[in-house]
Structure 1
Amino acid sequence: MGFLRERMGKILAFFIGFALLAFIVSEVVRSGGSFFRDDNSQLAVVNGEKVPLDEFNKKLEQNTNQFKQQSGQAISPQITNYIQETTWNQTLSTLLLKKEIEKLGIIVGGDEASAMVSGNNPDPQIARQFTDPQTGQFDKAKLNQYLSYLNSAQAPADAKQQWADFLIQLIEAKKATKYMALVTNGLYVNALEAKDDYEAKNKLVAFKYAMLDYASIPDAKVTLSDDDFNTYYNEHKGEFKNQQELRSFEYVSFNAAPSKEDTAAIKTDIDKVTEKFKESTNDSLFVQINSETKTPLAFQKKGALEPRLDSAMFNAAKGFIYGPYISGGSYKVAKLADVKSTFDSVKTKHILFNPATEGGVEKAIAKADSVKKLIQGGKSFAEMALMYSTDKGSASKGGEIPPFDVNGLMAGGQGQIAAEYTNASYKAAKGELIVVTSQFGVHLIQVEDQKGSVKVVKVAVVDKPITASSKTQTIAYSKAQAFLGNLTKDNFDAEVKKEGLTKRTADDVTGTASGLPGLDNARDVVRWAYKAEKGDLTDKVFTVGDQFIITRLSAIKPKGTLSLEAVKTQITPAVRNDVKAKQLAAKFAGASTIDQAAQKAGAKVVPVQNIVFANPMIPGLSAEYKVVGSIFGSQPNKLSKPINGAQGVYVFVVDGFTNPAPLANATKQKQQIAQVLLQRSEGQVLDALKDNANVKDNRAKLL
């Protein structure tokens, strides 16, 4: 008992610790190890503030839909990557500015907020939304009418919420404007800066130089030491700051592209389809049944079809068959289904309803029908557009969008209209109100005008992609699987050589990359690379397009200043030039004039005139910043020491400078410099905030 009493504290501590450990282990088992893994619901953490994945995805979807609507382009992996990066930068900038605004206590007071909406000089976004289309002037009466409507019992709750959200965005934007004003108001250009800038652009120099090109010494004759690399690295260390983590991997690919036999089999199939196509009486149904790409048939004007069809179909009779032919990796056969004349362009206005916020497509259609009845009962289309449309750009113009042709192309190349919208607008009568659903939502459309006349054709196209057969794919996959089975961490290069394969590299891949040179749709590979360790081999065969690939992670470049080892390959050419420069500079040694220097080195003396500091281009050579900078810092008639330039080693002598006329208007010069600073300031402020931010970025694993 005495023994137990003396050690009771330690015994209790042991059991309490054991119980806590058991609890943690059970939680790890139950939740799949979430104690030790990043929360998969968080895309990032910025200065302690979480960025939920679902919220980011909502913004991403909005930006993607907006891109589709404005550009009319298909969303490729490259475009997806661009939209993701843009959305991320928007999110990051908003969070960073919010933090700074809160820190500085920047606010928008109640009176100021009211003035932004209903004052004599409302915010530009308010003014644009309530501009009279006829006069182009802000219509305050229309704004007051709308505000009265929102305060009435008739206004729907969602319209009030949309307006409230809009005002919040307006106030946040005003705070950001104030913050940027604090920064830009601190920018100042003094008279000396104005004078230096003026002289840099107008002071001329005439000089002579002799140059020995780095290429005059073969690379094979230069031996690089560790000291050479260390010296260069230490002198240029500031240049090796990595803004984000980068990874590189090596890979081999096994081709699963269609064989000649595969192509011949598909040609036989398309020949059979062609014979049946000739006899078809329902071309639209035939396309839906037999074509890989089930594009709805639509009338198109000349220039919209691919060139070979364009020239054939507009000079053919209804029922004409063209093909089979190869286009875009498919065998195709085309049939002229119909020919007619239609309007050259149609002008419409619309109100767009978002099914996601309305509770589904059916409810969005029902709401569009309700608004349609209100307009038919006398309500203003423009007023309803401002009230209900989620397309704020057109809503501010009364719902109007630019005229478009039968192919949906807007006037002035402003984008492309959805096919459903286009087809319905061309079928409707002038002045008619119609409800149409497209990829962008539910549209309430009013046809305002239909102009001109143009010949259009409806062409039915059946396509059969030239794809690899299962036999071809199985053979390629089996080879890839067999190669993977023979690999260890240490024999990758040996196995590549043994099998006679070509090893390729993907260098400095970002965590959000979706496509790589020669590898489209390679997102799975990038995700793997950001979960692997250096030297790791993939444990599976990746399918990328018509290739099966095996990968090995070769390098990880962390965010921050990179080590010498990480940049050694990158800086080798520059280090080699530095070593060559020492040998070349020695050839100029002992000379006292430019002619002697050239004669000793076996080089030519080249005269140059009228070079300015702001444009350091030496005629016939590349930009030579270091050389031209040295020239403008030299005394006339004095032979320079050897200067290591971008292309070689130079010696020079300045013949003289031509000074410009005295600066007559320093104020104008200051304004020009200040304008440049102002244009760059917002981007540089955000860059500085990003550099100083503590960001835990999980995009590489979650997107």
Structure 2
Amino acid sequence: MGLMTFLRNRAGYILVGAIGFAIVAFLVGDAINVGKPFWAESQKVVGSVDGEEISIDQFGPKVDQSLAQFKQQYGGSGNAQMQAMAVDNVWQGEIASILLGKEYNRLGLTISSDELFDLLQGKNPSPLIVQYFGNPQTGEVNRAEVLASLKQQDKNPQLEKQWELLQNEIEKQALQKKYANLISNSIYVTTLEANDDYQNRNKLASFKYTLLDYAAVPDATVKPTESDYSDYYNENKKRFENPSETRSFEYVAFSVSPTKEDSAAVKTQVDKLAADFRTAANDSLFAAVNSDVKVPYAYMSKGKLDPAVDSVVFNLPAGSYYGPRFSGNSYKLIKVIDTRFSPDSVKASHILLDPSKMGGADKAKKLADSLKTLVQNGASFAALAKQYSIDGSKDKGGELGTFSRGQMVPVFEDAAFNGKAGDLKVVTSQFGVHLIKIEKQIGSSKVAKLAYIEKGLASSNKTRDAAYKKASAFLNEVKSNNFAELAQKKGYTVGVADRVTPTQGFAPGLDSPRQLIRDAYATDKGEILKEVYQMDNAYVVARVTDIKPKGTLSLEDVKKEIEPMVRTAVKAKMLTEKMNKALQGSANLAQVAQKLGKTVAPVENIVFANPIIPGAAQENKLVGSVFGSQPGKLSKAIDGTAGVYAFTVDGFSQPAPLANTYKQKEAMMQAGGQRALGAAFQALQDKSKIKDNRVKFY
């Protein structure tokens, strides 16, 4: 009864509360399910430049494209370093696009329609037009080809998109050139500056010096004070600008390299595989199923295999068997199926037909045979290619240019390399039915068709499990304050990765550290990372040891790093005092050297622009002082790179008067303009607010 009375008396409050909760739930639910404004959108932001956000949706595809270009340029499947290069390449491009775009708008820089027309199809084509439509030998642009491609946009949406991207890039390059010209044209060199630069590069100085070497003072005898550290830090503060936040970590790596037992097990497996391979009925199928590395079952030229087996295999006759041979951490087993002499490269044209648009492969092949007959009877192959081919080469009469082995699909390659110049061949590939015309065959060398098996020497599951078990036990036992001590107690080596940037793709001693680095940026200083990280060759446990923020680092941040320089500065003070005592009352350099128990060293023909002292070091301060001194006058003590000097100038050799001031100015303005463009872009970045979240995504 009491409960019912309570509910009646409080029903209004309960109802209002329930309605309020329902409204909040509705709004939050709507936000979560529809707009996701609270966190989902922010999770997509790779970074921002002056408030302009860069979304992963636009950033990611550009990284993929950049990575693909790096793979094509450098080869391989793309490692962590290549990925980091691609990410940084796109990031710098995004920063440049946003900051320079704002500069163009501020300065009123645009590309007019007339300028764009000239860049696309006029007398001053863009370098990109030259790249895509130019003759590689002459550099001349085929304007008819450009116009034909532009006209085809209406009928080809994909081509229209490609032209849109190309036009945008052409405009961007043209604006960058205008901006660069503005910067470089703002550089001016006076006649006085031109003569000074000429003098600095050509005036010769000869002098003698005596040296008190820093190395002669034992480090153990030098005890820098806090004041010494502070003085050095304040004098060199600009050197301690940190362009990006960095993190340092220490780690223990538990190796998963193959053990002796693993090596023996793999050798046993390979020996059995070798015996089966010798008697296999289908060599190519057996190799394809059992090899860790897939080598195409096609003719290949010498130089494509591991050097340890390449020369041997290409000296064997058809039917030979070779292996197992261990090299490069893997076993190789090879059957030589056939050898022959074949062209090094082929120049060919083709007409590609699409069976799906012709009612099947049989009808496409019949059409190809008919076209072959027409060509044999005198019809133009180029004209037929333009009319029937679905390949992009049709606009060039089907011309594919010159290609070597490995550039075409196997069936196409076999037809092109196994025929002879003038042959017409019909073949079917995954792309459709081809009518191939062999235009020319160049060179001749031995090729071989191989059935190839490669088995890598890998660690066993038992070895990997044992390493993981050790790593897990260490992670469970270690504490934030005893990482190095516990590692030493257990006999583990502690590695150090110092000042790692957020997007760095490498770390000393670690082959795939990206996830570790990402997690290090989500962990506080002194904390142990919460998981065991798997690398290609080890399991790793790590601890964050230091965090250095972006901006000017404090004295405490750099104290350990600058200790050697501070010690040298203290030595410089000690030796300067000693040198000054020797200079007092001395009439010449020989007397100074005698007091110090040192020798006098002569130096001939030093130029101001190249301040290298033979047998000593690069001594900017010393050489600068020499060129500011009078001949015959004993100098004061100069603290240099290698030690403290005293010197006497013997004389200067003056160069001939500058013959062409204009040419000197022009060279200096060109060099200054190139430096100024980079400096201007750096200034734009320094003045901008740039937030970098890439570590959350890559």
Please indicate, yes or no, whether the TM-score normalized by the shorter chain is above 0.5: yes
Q: Which residue of 2 aligns with 1:669?
A: 664
Question: Structure 1 residue aligned with 2:59, among 56, 59, 77?
Answer: 56
What's the TM-score, normalizing by structure 1? 0.84
Distance 1:338 1:489 in 2: 64
Give me the identity figure in percent.
42
- Residue 627, structure 1, aligned to residue 630, structure 2: no
Q: Which residue identity lines up with residue 49 of structure 2 in the other structure?
A: V
C-alpha distance 669-290 of structure 1, shift in aligned 2 (>3 A): same
Q: Which residue of 2 aligns with 1:310?
A: 310
SS at match of 1:589: helix
- Residue 485, structure 1, aligned to residue 476, structure 2: yes
Q: Which residue identity lines up with residue 607 of structure 2 in the other structure?
A: V
Does 130-139 or 110-119 show the bigger shift? 130-139
8 Å contact from structure 1 (residues 291, 463) kept in 2 = yes
Q: Which residue of 2 aligns with 1:220?
A: 220
Q: Which residue of 1 aligns with 2:683?
A: 688
Does 451-460 or 499-508 show the bigger shift? 451-460
C-alpha distance 302-130 of structure 1, shift in aligned 2 (>3 A): closer
Q: Which residue of 2 aligns with 1:98?
A: 101
Distance 1:246 1:459 in 2: 51
Q: CA deviation at 1:525?
A: 1.0
8 Å contact from structure 2 (residues 411, 428) kept in 1 = no
Distance 1:485 1:677 in 2: 58
C-alpha distance 493-668 of structure 1, shift in aligned 2 (>3 A): same
8 Å contact from structure 1 (residues 616, 628) kept in 2 = yes
Q: Which residue identity lines up with residue 629 of structure 2 in the other structure?
A: S
Q: Which residue identity lines up with residue 226 of structure 1 in the other structure?
A: E
Distance 2:636 2:616 in 1: 20
8 Å contact from structure 1 (residues 284, 296) kept in 2 = no
- Provide, for residues 34-73 of structure 1, a one-character-per-residue CA deviation record: whole Å limited to 9, x for no partner: 8479823222211121222132222222223333444544
Q: Which residue of 2 aligns with 1:411?
A: none
Distance 2:335 2:183 in 1: 64
C-alpha distance 289-165 of structure 1, shift in aligned 2 (>3 A): closer
Total equivalences in the alignment: 661
Q: Which residue identity lines up with residue 325 of structure 1 in the other structure?
A: R
Q: Which residue of 1 aligns with 2:540?
A: 549
Q: CA deviation at 1:523?
A: 1.1
Which blocks of at least 5 consecutive residues in structure 1 are unaligned?
A: 1-13, 353-361, 409-416
Q: Which residue of 1 aligns with 2:377?
A: none
Q: Which residue of 2 aligns with 1:182?
A: 182
Q: Which residue identity lines up with residue 552 of structure 1 in the other structure?
A: R
Distance 1:63 1:395 in 2: 29
SS at match of 1:572: helix
8 Å contact from structure 1 (residues 406, 423) kept in 2 = no
Distance 1:597 1:290 in 2: 80
Q: Which residue identity lines up with residue 454 of structure 2 in the other structure?
A: D
Q: Which residue identity lines up with residue 632 of structure 2 in the other structure?
A: N
Q: Which residue identity lines up with residue 39 of structure 1 in the other structure?
A: S
- Residue 679, structure 1, aligned to residue 682, structure 2: no
Q: CA deviation at 1:530?
A: 1.4
* Equivalence map 1:436-447=2 (5 Å): none
Question: Structure 2 residue aligned with 1:699, among 676, 679, 694?
Answer: 694
Q: CA deviation at 1:490?
A: 1.5
8 Å contact from structure 1 (residues 44, 52) kept in 2 = yes
Q: Which residue identity lines up with residue 573 of structure 2 in the other structure?
A: K
Larger Rg: 2
Does 536-545 or 467-476 show the bigger shift? 467-476
Question: Structure 2 residue aligned with 1:616, among 611, 626, 648?
Answer: 611
Q: Which residue of 1 aligns with 2:325?
A: 325
8 Å contact from structure 1 (residues 323, 333) kept in 2 = yes
- Residue 559, structure 1, aligned to residue 558, structure 2: no
SS at match of 2:102: helix
C-alpha distance 27-241 of structure 1, shift in aligned 2 (>3 A): farther
Q: Which residue of 1 aligns with 2:8?
A: none
Which blocks of at least 5 consecutive residues in structure 2 are unaligned?
A: 1-16, 373-379
SS at match of 2:580: coil
- Provide, for residues 289-333 of structure 1, a one-character-per-residue CA deviation record: whole Å limited to 9, x for no partner: 222223322322223322232232122232322222222222332
SS at match of 1:535: coil
Q: CA deviation at 1:607?
A: 0.5
8 Å contact from structure 1 (residues 320, 336) kept in 2 = yes
Q: Which residue of 2 aligns with 1:253?
A: 253
Q: Which residue identity lines up with residue 687 of structure 1 in the other structure?
A: Q
C-alpha distance 344-115 of structure 1, shift in aligned 2 (>3 A): closer
Q: Which residue of 2 aligns with 1:209?
A: 209
SS at match of 2:43: coil
8 Å contact from structure 1 (residues 489, 535) kept in 2 = yes
- Provide, for residues 496-518 of structure 1, a one-character-per-residue CA deviation record: whole Å limited to 9, x for no partner: 22212211100111211222222
Does 596-605 or 503-512 show the bigger shift? 596-605
Distance 2:397 2:603 in 1: 62
C-alpha distance 477-178 of structure 1, shift in aligned 2 (>3 A): same
Q: Which residue of 1 aligns with 2:3?
A: none
Q: Which residue identity lines up with residue 651 of structure 2 in the other structure?
A: G
* Equivalence map 1:502-521=2 (5 Å): 502-521=493-512
Distance 1:562 1:121 in 2: 50
C-alpha distance 109-443 of structure 1, shift in aligned 2 (>3 A): farther
